[in-house]
Structure 1
Amino acid sequence: MNCLPATEAILSRLLSFDTTSRDSNLALIEWVASWLEQYGVASTLTFNDEKTKANLFAHLGDPTLPAVVLSGHTDVVPVDGQQWRYPPFDMTVHDGLVYGRGSADMKGFIACVLAAVPRWQHMVAGGAMTRSLGIALSYDEEIGCLGVGRLIDDLLARQVPVAGCIIGEPTIMRPVIAHKGIAHYRVQVRGRAAHSSLTPQGVNAIEYAARLVTHIRKLADTEQSFGSRHPLYDVPFATLQTGLIKGGSAANIVPKDCEFVFEVRWLPGDLHERFVASVKDYAQVLLAEMQQIAPEADIQFEALVNCPPFEYSPGSEITRHVEALCQGCSHDAVAYTTEAGRFHEAGIPCVVCGPGSIEQAHRPDEFVSQAQLAACDAWLDQLFLRLKQA
Structure 2
Amino acid sequence: MAAKYRILYIDDEVDNLKVFKIAFQNEFAVTIESSPLKGLDLIRNEEFEILVVDQRMPEMTGVEVLENAMQLQRDSVRILLTGYSDMQATINAVNKGKIFYYLSKPWKKEEVKGILLKAIDHYELTKKNKELISRLSQSINELQVFLYRASHDLKAPITTQLGLLNLLREEVTGDSKIYVAKIEEVISRLEKTIDKIRELSDLGYDFVSKNYTSEIAAVVEKVLEKWNQKLQVGEIQVKLNLKQSNDFTLESGLLEMIIDELIENSINFHNKNQTDKWIEIASDFDAPSNMLKLSVKDNGIGIDPTLLDEVTDPFFRGTALSTGNGLGLYIVKRVCDLIHGSIAIHSDGKSGTEVTISIPNLKK
More helix by share: 2
Tell which has more relative contact order, 1 or 2 (C-alpha 8 A, sep 6+). 1
TM bucket (normalised to shorter chain) is: under 0.3
Structure having the higher Rg: 2
User: What TM-score do you get using the length of structure 1 for normalisation?
Assistant: 0.19
User: What TM-score do you get using the length of structure 2 for normalisation?
Assistant: 0.20
